[in-house]
Structure 1
Amino acid sequence: MIDGTDSPVQHLRRLSAELGVELLAKRDDLLPFPLGGNKVRKLTAELASLDAAPDLVISNGAIASNHCRTLALLAAEHGFRSHLVLHGDRDGETRALALLDATGATYDVVSDPADIAPTIDARHAKAAARGDRVHVVAGGCHTRAGAIAYRDAAVAVISAHRPAWVVVASGTGATHGGIAAGAAQLADRPRVVGVSVGRIAERGTAAVAEAARWAGADVDVDFRDAYLDGGYGRHTAATASVVALGWKNGLPLDHTYTGKAMAGLRDMVGTGEIAPGARVLFWHTGGLANYLLEGG
């Protein structure tokens, strides 16, 4: 990780008492880089895997995605350019775009997701024709290097704290897949559950399994799409109530990522799937910027 440092593990005493389990949080929202969450770990690993420094990195995501914002900040820090192909409502997300503008990133905003790939191809071709060294990063940093980074982090954290369960927000797949691959290396392995933030089970499960294979493991993927609550970047009072519970007990959550994961965890405890008193590791993937951009 950045300068050899990592994120802390926190014992969530108030939430533990509220839920009736021993709840720990791996606070990747507190990695030493602003507002990036799990994208910091993955993108740092991805950039370190390159043979030469790029002139331009191209990627894609929603206008307010942690991935795109983190890539723009990393580009500004390391002195390469970033170009982002974004999808969403340009007029409705001006604050998120203002953050990207502040970093010097350039971007296209498309309304039809089918336009993402051809737009990336066109930008790549144009930059390569200028002689730029171009690197394209898959959306969400769904890459081999990102999955391996999470495998290694999971081995260290699970070995140290020995949870019975790990619960994580699952998006494009490399974080969840890497954690599952890390758990698979251990004799006393926990159950790793990914709570979907946007994908239905068939697509999400395939992406997580792919990432786990990149990290060296074939795993039985536990991917749950019951908490989509309207889809990526959308939510109702159901997610909002869980986000409020987190904040009132000292754990910042957001409506896009971690609130949905915590909703899944709470229900698993409520149904008895997770037994009372069990040690549970909640892998906090960030999302504070999304919470603030939404107005809290």
Structure 2
Amino acid sequence: MEAKTKAVSAILNAPAPHMVGDGFRVHNFFPKGYKIKMSPFFMLDYNSKIEFSARNEPRGVGVHPHRGFETVTIAYHGAVAHHDSAGNSGIIYPGDVQWMTAASGILHKEYHEEQFTKKGGAFQMVQLWVNLPAKYKMSTPKYQDVKHSDMAKYNLDNDGGVIEVIAGEYNGIKGSANTFSPLNLLNARLNKGGKAYFDFPEEYNTGFVIIEGSVKINGAETAKTDQFVHFKNEGSKIELEALENSVVLVLSGDPINEPIAQYGPFLMNTSEEIQQAISDYNQGKFGYLEE
């Protein structure tokens, strides 16, 4: 029996933006912008492309805690530097991905990289919050820095473009990042007329962010820059065709069917665990990080 097409549920415009600190102007597609099923992805903040003027003092977000999930930051334009209370630091340049497993707790700050701050220019990023299954929520924090040059890639036929496999797999090419639950995170960089085909289990929650360009989905519906395509939980096959040179962030994952308790930067299973997180934070158990 031939696999059925995974139909589009909705093509969503970017919600009104808000500032996170003074360095990130983001559209929250979910959970606030739209009430859509996207577990294991809990939150999607999309910093659509904007120009920042040159200045001496870096823009960004000051010290803040995380517990119970992972943050995944994907850079398209501009550069972000980061530090945390475990002594990790680094710079995320265009094409790079930083996968931070906050898990049992970490303090973190992120801001525009020094040279980018001084020159200014185009800035475009995505930050995802990926939920952790209950059994891993209190595991040791860790980082996976996935440089663009090291990223697993699959070249499409007929000079159609390239699929960058951040996590999961595409046509047998395994992703560069390890995950705690089954998911796929891909950048489809397609040349005009290029086609990519995806096959995700029907129970997987699936969505596309159109980072750049415009595309046709399943030979029918058109989605443009800054829109989010949400798919139904039925069928498995998706055809993506670029109507112009395009970049599409592809998310698809097996939902984590566990209760969720969220308060600010804490994502746990029960309200008691949230209270514990607040208490641990107030007692300095997340370590120390200078502003």
- Shorter-chain TM-score above 0.5: no
Which TM-score band applies after superposition, normalised by the shorter structure?
under 0.3
TM-score (norm 2): 0.26
- Structure with a larger share of its residues in strand: 2
TM-score (norm 1): 0.25
